[in-house]
Structures are given as structure tokens and as C-alpha cells.
Structure 1
Amino acid sequence: MERSPSKKTVLSNCPVSPNREKEIFHVVHKVPSGDGPYVRAKHAQLVEKDPEGAIVWFWKAINAGDRVDSALKDMAVVMKQLDRTEEAIEAIKSFRGLCSKNAQESLDNVLIDLYKKCGRVDEQIELLRQKLRMIYQGQAFNGKPTKTARSHGRKFQVSIKQETSRILGNLGWAYMQKTNYMAAEVVYKKAQMIDPDANKACNLGLCLIKQARYDDARSVLEDVLTGRVPGSDDIRARNRAEELLLDLESRQPPPGLSNLVGLHLDDEFVDGLEQIGAQWAPIRPRRLPIFEQISNFKDQLAC
């Protein structure tokens, strides 16, 4: 008895219309539909793998007013990949005024990455501090409690709490590049109070090692290895904690610290940090111990 073709076989033999083929192409290559300069830029970037050609078309899209928000951001990302970082920074600074209010936050995030890549740490720190001020003034996320973020093609929701901790972590790392380990310690501790994770714990441990506070550093790193910090099951975080502990054990405590680097945290910024974390702290004293520590040092250290 002859078997009738399955539904799947019948569907596979059906001709696909040209419009349907275009739809499938756009989905597979993640290229928007249309024929404007922005679409051509994305086609050059994602399909033809021609980043230089993509930049030319992104410029044309910006000049033509075609999806300027996305064109400027995407062009800066491509420029970063080509090590044209300084050019990307100048492009964002020059043309972000053409972009909508909703695009400014994502442009700031791209700008921070660009500053980090080319070693412009002071500008990175200032922009991170500016983003924190926006949070404690209620201006972040356009006043909403969450925002939609995208990573590796997937969308997910980010809360103000998570964003605050992320920015503090980036600020702590920037302070470390300036060898301002005391300021880095302050913001890492605040980040851990808000939304702790193993990666920031390792960075905090490194800050403490740099200040020769070996017992404190050991306690923080052992919390990672014993699983008392969220994310401790990440093998990379555990390996890093182990490496830092080995480094710590190889060091001899010096007779005393000298040439302490100033915190360089003004009173307004310290008060802002206190405000943005107060609602998430398990206990809410009038002034957190971490900031009492800052106050004690402020008169002694150069800012």
C-alpha cells in the first residue's frame, strides 16, 4: 500500500514566494527590512562582513536622518571593532544631539566602553558618576523601575537595583586603574550591598590586597570559594578567587602603608551613593558605616 506524503513533506515541496524569502532572509541575518541607508549599512555589516563599507552607509544614514539613534550607536560599535575608538568617541559627542531622549542612555553605555578601550579613565569615571547621579535623582530609565536590555540577540529586563550595582562595579574598576584603591573599595562595597556577585567580590579582594589588608581580603575571597556570594558557582570567579588567595599568601605584610591615595569623592557624590543604596540595604541607619569611614578619611587625604 502506497503511503501518502506527510504534511511536513508537502510543506517542504511548496514554492516559497519572493516576499516570504525576504522575510526569512531578514530573520536569519537579523537585518531590518527596507532599502534605506541604515538597512544597507546593516547588510554590509552583518551579511557582507564589510565593516568599512558599513561605516560609510551609517554616515549616510545619519546625514539622511534615517534611524539616527541606531545608526550612530551601531557605527560607534563597528568603529570600536576596527580600533577607530577615538573617531567613534568624537562621532557620538558630535551627533548625539540628533538622537532621541530615549537613545541617550545607550549612547552613554557605548561611550563608557569606548573610554575604557582607549584608556581615557578620567572621562570614564566622570560619565559613570553622572549616571549614578541620574539614578539617585530619579532620572534613569526615563523614570521607570526597569528597562529592556539586549545581549547576544536576547532581550531581558534590568532593574534599577541591578543597573546601580553594575555601574558601581564599573566605577570601582576605573578607580583601580587610577590606583585609587580606597575609592574603589568604597564603591565595590556599596555595589555588594545592593546586588552582590562573585566577580565584584574578587575585585574587592584585589582592592584590599593592594592596600595590604590581607585578613580582610582573605575573608572576602573565601566567601566566594565557600559559595556565600551569588555567582560563586561560576568556575571563572572561583579560579580568580583561588589565584588571588595564592597571591595573597605569597605576600609579606609591610610595616605600614605610605603615600595613601585620596578618595577623591566629594560630599555630594557620597551623599548620592548613600541615597541610592538606602532602600536596598538590609539595615537602614541614618548614615552607613562605609560613609562614616569616608568622613573620617576626607580631612586627612588629598582629594
Structure 2
Amino acid sequence: MERVIRSNRRSSVGDKKELFHVIHKVPAGDTPYVRAKHLQLVEKDHDSAIVWFWKAINCGDRMDSALKDMAVIMKQQGRAEEAIEAIRSFRHLCSKQAQESLDNLLIDLYKKCGMFEDQIELLKQKLRMIYLGEAFNGKTTKTARSHGKKFQVSIKQETARVLANLGWAYMQQNCFAAAELVYRKAQTIQPDANKACNLGVCLIRQGYFHDARTVLSDVVNHRFLDGEESKAVSRAIELLREIESQPSISPMDIGLNIEEAINDWSPLRSKRLPIFEEISTYRDQIAC
């Protein structure tokens, strides 16, 4: 009888520990990485968590997760440049499967630091990987997370997302002609109201008011169905008002030649990526 009671007590203690790990999403064990996650998620001591993530990295304890988790905390603390240096220094020790998520993290960090040249170069690299069938580790979809929920992302969606980010980065450099080309390609793949508004801005900044009015009117007339349509409509209305306030002049001819502005993609086609049949004229390098 006593043995049964002791067994039940051990089982109860074990269940509580398991429940603790589930509730706090902390891995079980007693390693530097586990200690770091406990400090991060339970004790909310982010400075100490970073110290223990460094220890985990130095001893190779769950290297992929340790580097990514530490970089995320650094970003939250306003230490984005340190996070960039850490990823650049240690990513070669991480698995091949971790490289894509590290790239995505770097893109966000470059954006936060205003390192647009680096952001553009990495986005172009991601487009090359998509074109060659190397994205998603060779798969056609991947599982992503947002606000604790899992969802599937297709190659088509990823291509449109990367192109939209590339267009935004060009806009930050006032390279509106290059940004226009990229946004137009993104819209042929997966159109949405937010990209349409950014395309409208690119056209306005180049003096193409008639084209901008057409693009923005489509947003106002609810031609797009996306999750943030109401915000995009408000923005489109503002931009249309900006156009109306401009003097009535002919659009400026900037003499953009696509063949001169961008270099050829590789002539090879990936049979696994039919989406690139739609953007086969897109090129790899876009000159500002």
C-alpha cells in the first residue's frame, strides 16, 4: 500500500513538471539552452537569458534554436546590430534547415537598422533560391507560425512576399523606378491592396499621375480582397488627394529600359516552380 502511495506521489510530481513545461513552453532537461529558455519565458530575465544562450551556442547545445532565440531577444532589446553580428558569425555552425529562417530574421534586422543594401542583397538571394527550386528545402510549401497559429505558405505566396519586401527596400532608397518594376511583378503573382498602394506611391514619385490614379482607384473600388483592405482604402484615398493637389503636368519620361536596368535570370527553368512561368521576364539585379 505504501509503495502504491509513493508511486502515485512520484507520478503526480512528474505530471506537474510536464504540465509546467507545456504551459510555459519550456523544454525539459538541465542544459544551457533549457536554462536560457526558462530565464526568457518564465523569469522574464532577458539579459541573463542572452548570457545562457551564448553558453548554449559555445557548447553546441541546440545551436539552431539558441542562435535564433538569442537574436530575437536582442532585436526586442534594441540590440539589432549585435544580433546581426551574432548570426553572421555563427550561422555556419547551424544546420542547413535553419538557414532560411536565419535569413528571414536577418532581413528583419537589416530593415530595423536601415541597412537597405544588405536587405536588398539578401532578398535577391532568396529570389534566386526560389527560382532554382532551393527554397523551402526543396518543398513546394512550408509551415509558418503567426501569433501562435500554424499555417501553410506556398512558393507563390513566398515569391510575392519577397518581391514586396524588395520593392519596399528600394522605396527607402528612393529608387522608385526599380521599386515600380518589382511591385508590378509581385502584383501579377498575388495582388493585394497594400502592394497596390506602394505601387501607387512609386508612380506618383515618378510623375506618372494617370497610372497612379488608375492603380489607386482599384483599391478604393475594392478590387482587392485582403485582410487589411480598410486601411489600404484609407491610404489610397489619401494618395489620390495628393495626386489632385499636384500641378497638371505631363509625366516625366525617365527613359527606363528594362533590359539595361536589370540583368538576366538564369535561363534554366525549374519544373517544380510553375509560378516562374508567370515572371520569366523578371531579372536578378535591378539598378537604382
Q: Does 1:87 align with 2:82?
A: yes
Map 1:191-206 to 2 at 5 A: 191-206=186-201
- Judging changes above 3 Å, is the alpha-carbon distance between structure 1 residues 284 and 206 closer, same or farther for their aligned structure 2 residues? closer
Q: Is the 8 A contact 2:216 2:240 kept in 1?
A: yes
Gaps of 5+ in 1: 1-14
Aligned position for 2:245: 250
Letter in 1 for 2:125: Q
- Judging changes above 3 Å, is the alpha-carbon distance between structure 1 residues 224 and 271 closer, same or farther for their aligned structure 2 residues? farther
Secondary structure class of the residue paired with 2:264: helix
Q: Distance in 2 between matches of 1:275 and 1:165?
A: 17
Q: Distance in 1 between matches of 2:140 and 2:196?
A: 26
Q: Distance in 1 between matches of 2:175 and 2:249?
A: 19
Q: Is the 8 A contact 1:232 1:238 kept in 2?
A: no
- Judging changes above 3 Å, is the alpha-carbon distance between structure 1 residues 302 and 207 closer, same or farther for their aligned structure 2 residues? closer
Specify which structure has the bigger relative contact order, considering alpha-carbon pairs within 8 angstroms and separated by 6 or more residues.
Answer: 2
Secondary structure class of the residue paired with 1:34: coil
Q: Distance in 2 between matches of 1:240 and 1:222?
A: 11
Aligned position for 2:43: 48
Q: Does 1:226 align with 2:221?
A: yes
CA distances 1:76-101 after superposition (whole Å, capped 9, x unpaired): 11111111111111100100011000
Secondary structure class of the residue paired with 2:43: coil
Judge which range, 138-147 or 253-262, deviates more. Answer: 253-262
Q: Is the 8 A contact 2:220 2:233 kept in 1?
A: yes
TM-score normalised by the chain length of structure 2: 0.86
Q: Distance in 2 between matches of 1:206 and 1:46?
A: 41
Q: Does 1:24 align with 2:22?
A: no
CA distances 1:218-271 after superposition (whole Å, capped 9, x unpaired): 111111121212317632222222222222222224456387899785312497
Judge which range, 252-261 or 27-36, deviates more. Answer: 252-261
- Judging changes above 3 Å, is the alpha-carbon distance between structure 1 residues 249 and 18 closer, same or farther for their aligned structure 2 residues? farther
Q: Is the 8 A contact 2:75 2:83 kept in 1?
A: yes
Q: Distance in 2 between matches of 1:256 and 1:270?
A: 34
Q: Alpha-carbon deviation of 1:22?
A: 1.9
Q: Is the 8 A contact 1:149 1:156 kept in 2?
A: yes
Judge which range, 87-96 or 48-57, deviates more. Answer: 48-57
TM-score normalised by the chain length of structure 1: 0.82
Letter in 1 for 2:224: V
Secondary structure class of the residue paired with 2:101: helix
- Judging changes above 3 Å, is the alpha-carbon distance between structure 1 residues 270 and 165 closer, same or farther for their aligned structure 2 residues? farther
Aligned position for 1:152: 147
| Equivalent of 2:60 in 60, 65, 70 | 65
Aligned position for 2:103: 108
Map 1:248-287 to 2 at 5 A: 248-254=243-249, 257=252, 265-269=261-265, 279-280=274-275
Aligned position for 2:5: none
Give every structure 1 segment of 4 or more consecutive aligned residues whose post-TM-superposition deviation is greater than 3 Å: 253-266, 269-272, 278-281
Q: Alpha-carbon deviation of 1:279?
A: 3.4
Map 1:151-230 to 2 at 5 A: 151-230=146-225
CA distances 1:63-83 after superposition (whole Å, capped 9, x unpaired): 111111011011111111111
Q: Distance in 1 between matches of 2:62 and 2:160?
A: 31
Secondary structure class of the residue paired with 1:196: coil
Aligned position for 1:119: 114
Aligned position for 1:241: 236
Q: Distance in 1 between matches of 2:83 and 2:257?
A: 32
Q: Is the 8 A contact 1:38 1:61 kept in 2?
A: yes
Q: Distance in 1 between matches of 2:50 and 2:255?
A: 46
Q: Distance in 2 between matches of 1:215 and 1:74?
A: 47
CA RMSD of aligned residues (A): 3.1
Secondary structure class of the residue paired with 1:243: helix
Q: Distance in 1 between matches of 2:227 and 2:221?
A: 8
Q: Does 1:37 align with 2:32?
A: yes
Q: How many residues align?
A: 277
Secondary structure class of the residue paired with 2:53: helix
Judge which range, 180-189 or 31-40, deviates more. Answer: 31-40
Letter in 1 for 2:86: A
Q: Alpha-carbon deviation of 1:182?
A: 0.8
Secondary structure class of the residue paired with 1:112: helix
Q: Distance in 2 between matches of 1:253 and 1:232?
A: 35
